[in-house]
Amino acid sequence: MRSAAALVACLLPLTIDGAWAQSAPKPPATVTVYRCTDARGKVSLQDAPCAEGQAQQARQMLRPADAPTPRAGSVPAPRAPVSLPPPRTVYLAPPRPMYECVTPEGRRYTSDDGRGNPRWVPLWALGYPAVRPHSVLGGNIGHPDRVLHPPHRDVIWPVATGGGTWVRDDCAMLPPREACARLRDRRSELRTRFFNAQEKERDVLREEERALNARLDNDCGGR
């Protein structure tokens, strides 16, 4: 019994030292790198001592460790490439101008070309001297000294259109913001008329509203 107890007492320190050695962290592995310089001054790095006759410098460096191998299932599966829709090209036309025109009576209306509605005006209304028609028989018709009543086919007018000319109403271009406001007002009028309109008129109103919406999207940045 005494010999067995003595044997256990002798082996116990060894067992404790062995267990401590296994549990203690291992120091990181190092590697010696030699910097060698030959007689010509050429420098080289190697892991073995320099050759005889070369200047040597040795340094201890940590040995590079490989990255841990990923476990199975830890690496995420590659995602499928996302297919993007093809680029969309939008062509915008320059804003169309809008004009406000005024009739001689003071009535105002809008126009897209700025020309105004034409109207027939006698030349005397524009300040030209009055020109009376005359007859092929001679003399002015209605002359106080000689009153003639020739047939209408024998009357010669100085101007083929009857002594007048066509003139257009005056127009001025509206600012872009005011033009957009006029377009929205016009659309509101169409929607008000739509409820009391007949089916044929509704088709015309729908077509005009589509044109107004397209113009608002292009010229006014939205509806």
- What is the model's pLDDT at position 69? 74
Predicted TM-score (pTM) of this structure? 0.45
Q: Is 145's pLDDT higher than 80?
A: no
Residue 156: the pLDDT is 43
What's the 3-state SS for the chain?
CHHHHHHHHHHHHHHHHHHHHHHCCCCCCEEEEEEEECCCCCEEEECCCCCCCCEEEEEEEECCCCCCCCCCCCCCCCCCCCCCCCCCCCCCCCCCCCEEEECCCCCEEEECCCCCCEEEEEHHHHCCCCCCCEECCCCECCECCECCCCCHHHEECCCCCCCEEEEECEEEECCHHHHHHHHHHHHHHHHHHHCCCCHHHHHHHHHHHHHHHHHHHHHCCCC
Summarised one tens digit per residue, pLDDT across range 73-116 is 666 777 888 888 888 887 777 889 999 999 999 999 999 999 99
Mean pLDDT of 132-159: 45
Strands 108-111 and 99-102: antiparallel
- Choose among 96, 85, 53: nearest CA to 217: 96
pLDDT of residue 182: 94
Choose between 174 and 64: higher pLDDT.
Answer: 174
For residues 116 and 104, the answer to whether their CB atoms sit within 8 Å is no
Kindly report, residue by residue over 22-60, the tens digit of the pLDDT. 555 555 577 888 889 888 888 888 888 888 888 888 888
Is the predicted pLDDT of residue 8 greater than 60, yes or no?
A: no
Please give the share of the chain, as a percent, with pLDDT higher than 90.
29
Residues 6+ apart with CB under 8 A from 134: 140, 141, 155, 156
Model confidence pLDDT, tens digit, residues 168-217? 999 999 999 999 999 999 999 999 999 888 999 999 999 999 999 999 99
Checking if the pLDDT of 131 tops 80, the result is no
Q: Which of 31, 27, 25, 26 is nearest to 64 (CA)?
A: 31
